[in-house]
Amino acid sequence: MDADTIHQRRWLTLAVLSLSLVIIGLDNTILNIALPSLVEALDASASQLQWMVDSYVLVFAGTLLTMGALGDRFGRKLALNVGLVIFGVASVFAAFSDSANMLIVARAVMGIGGALIMPSTLSIITNIFSGAERGRAIAMWAAVAGLGIVVGPALGGWLLEHYWWGSIFLINIFVAGVAILLGLLLVPESKDPDATPLDPLGAILSAGGLIILVYAIIEAPSKGWTNPLILAGFVVALILIGLFLWWENRAEHPMLRLEFFKNPRFSAASGAVSLVFFAMFGSVFLLTQYLQFVLGYTPLEAGVRVMPTATMLIAAPLSARFVERVGTKIVVSSGLMIVTVSMAWLATTTIDSGYGHVAITIALLGIGMGTAMAPATESIMGSLPLAKAGVGSAMNDTTRQIGGALGVAILGSILASSFGADMSSVVAGLPPEAAKIVGNSIGGAIAVGTQMGDAGLPIIAAANQAFVSGMSTAVWVAAAIALIGAISTWIFLPAKPLDEQRKRDLYRDLSSADDSGSVSK
């Protein structure tokens, strides 16, 4: 595919790459809406439900840097197609899982596919677009990718009402197949023109450190943040990550150039992206349960009621235009302030608030995410040499996943602790086994209360109140963290990108690759 053809087809290529990414957002939100159904279908415990979400996040976050580097080395289109195949095949196993543990393993394999897909799409876009067009393309990529987040709950709810729970994974096979076929025709191959030898030690240290870190974050809510295993996990993770940074600073051919972090457009924007996903993953994890358990909606009804996040599809494309006028700093920090307001509004939810209160939260969250996420992503990618787009994209995606994992783990931990404390007096008169179930989660409390008939109504009422109280506490924490992110972004994120000469000075040893991304057939 020659350069003229690539240029002429660049917007069609963007559409295909965005479709490839839809599969990731679609899968995550569909699974969230199906969690209550999986309690019954697979007899899944609260811990297993969390691992159905987080096994994917664990592997995804742990292997992103390695997969991004492989894409730069061997070809991003190749990495994209391999990732789509892995994701599709693993989805088949997920759909026909006969136990919660089998589904958890299938989700982990899907994480490998996702780690190949996500950085490949963004790095190819960075290479085929330039200037103001790149910012607009990334904004559209973020908006279309968000389509999966918006459509997923409603689609998942519809599938759950008409078919068995495994059908939520079969949709992935269709999307992956279409993306592969169109990609063969419209997506050009690109790679680092000055590809250096691989960095196997760096890959092992980064994957090991990130996987152990995310594992400790995920398990901390159930085991306790001061549990010896959790503390050991954090210590080992920090040691491995420290060794990774030490090695990358000394290796002849490092996987991640640490000089990238000298540019505040890279480091400050990475922090902003992480905080946006902290709020999104954590709040969606709580909201899907609130809509179904407290407000009593079916999966389809709950899915439809999450769709006000479609405001993200409007805000993301507009954010590129705003950046051209007022700069990245104002737009990203404003987006984080909107996220802060949405979290603060959600924190005022009561049992009697109703869906209207939640709808305002969801709409504001979509606007804030779309406003902050697209320009922050463009800031990260625009601050790097094109030849290193794969690793840069992977770094961007890693911050997303770690932020999301922290959001689910920390907010989930706060909710669980608050719920258990509030339900302690309720479970005091119950048999030990029933008391454990009731005090563990709102789903368990409702199940036990329903079995008890009229006698269980006080248990259900107490569980609803305890859940809403715990959710409020957790979301106030999310609001505070988003506010810190908005202030930090305002202080540290530059309004405009570095010019090419200053970028060359910053990445002096990469100057030969600065203007080439090797886009080819």
The model's confidence at residue 88, banded by pLDDT at 50, 70 and 90, is very high
Q: Averaging pLDDT over each range in 179-183, 186-190, 256-260, which range is the top one?
A: 179-183
CA distance 248 to 254: 5
More reliable by pLDDT, 500 or 340: 340
495: pLDDT strictly greater than 90: no
Average pLDDT for 5-23: 81
pLDDT computed for residue 87 by the predictor: 93
Pick from 103, 78, 77, 79: nearest CA to 91:
103
220: pLDDT strictly greater than 90: no
Give the 3-state secondary structure of residue 187.
coil
Q: Residue by residue, what is the 3-state secondary structure of 23-74?
A: HHHHHHHHHHHHHHHHHHHCCCCHHHHHHHHHHHHHHHHHHHHHHHHHHHHH
387: pLDDT strictly greater than 80: no
- Look up residue 180 and give its amino acid: I
Pick from 336, 356, 294, 351: nearest CA to 480:
336
| Angle, CA 394 vertex, CA 483 and CA 23 arms, to 5° | 90
pLDDT computed for residue 435 by the predictor: 81
CA distance 202 to 204: 6
Q: Averaging pLDDT over each range in 240-254, 275-289, 506-520, which range is the top one?
A: 240-254
CA distance 492 to 477: 22
515: pLDDT strictly greater than 50: no
Tokens of 92: 């088949």
Strand-pairing partners, residue 520, are 189
Tokens of 518: 């090797």
Expressed in angstroms, the distance from the first to the final Cα of the chain is: 4
pLDDT computed for residue 196 by the predictor: 65
pLDDT computed for residue 92 by the predictor: 92
The model's confidence at residue 510, banded by pLDDT at 50, 70 and 90, is very low
32: pLDDT strictly greater than 80: no
Lowest mean pLDDT among 13-22, 213-222, 375-384, 385-394: 385-394
Mean confidence (pLDDT) of the chain: 81
More reliable by pLDDT, 294 or 260: 294
pLDDT computed for residue 65 by the predictor: 78
Average pLDDT for 455-464: 85
Average pLDDT for 435-445: 79
pLDDT computed for residue 312 by the predictor: 82
pLDDT in tens, 250-271: 887 777 777 777 777 778 888 8
Average pLDDT for 14-24: 83
Q: What is the dihedral of CA 59, 285, 168, 114, to 10 degrees?
A: -30
Name the E strands within 305-449: none
The model's confidence at residue 3, banded by pLDDT at 50, 70 and 90, is low
Residue found by looking up tokens 């509030």 in the block:
422
pLDDT computed for residue 221 by the predictor: 67
Positive or negative: CA dihedral 390, 391, 394, 395: negative
Which CATH number is 3-198+255-504's, of 3.10.180.10, 1.10.3720.10, 3.40.50.12160, 1.20.1250.20? Answer: 1.20.1250.20
Contact 116, 79 (CB under 8 A): yes
Query: DSSP assignment, residue 224?
Result: -
Q: What is the DSSP string of 233-251?
A: HHHHHHHHHHHHHHHHHH-
pLDDT computed for residue 228 by the predictor: 92
511: pLDDT strictly greater than 50: no
The model's confidence at residue 454, banded by pLDDT at 50, 70 and 90, is confident
State percent of the chain over pLDDT 90. 15
505: pLDDT strictly greater than 50: yes
Tokens of 431: 């048999």
Pick from 245, 275, 250: nearest CA to 261:
245
In the chain, domain spans: 3-198+255-504, 199-254
344: pLDDT strictly greater than 90: yes
Contact 103, 116 (CB under 8 A): no
118: pLDDT strictly greater than 90: no
Average pLDDT for 112-118: 89
CA distance 493 to 135: 16
Q: 119: exposed, middle or buried (C-beta count within 10 Å: 0-12, 13-18, 19+)?
A: buried
CA distance 62 to 83: 15
Query: Angle, to 10 degrees, between the axis of helix 131-162 and the axis of helix 355-382?
Result: 140
pLDDT computed for residue 447 by the predictor: 81
Average pLDDT for 217-225: 74
308: pLDDT strictly greater than 50: yes
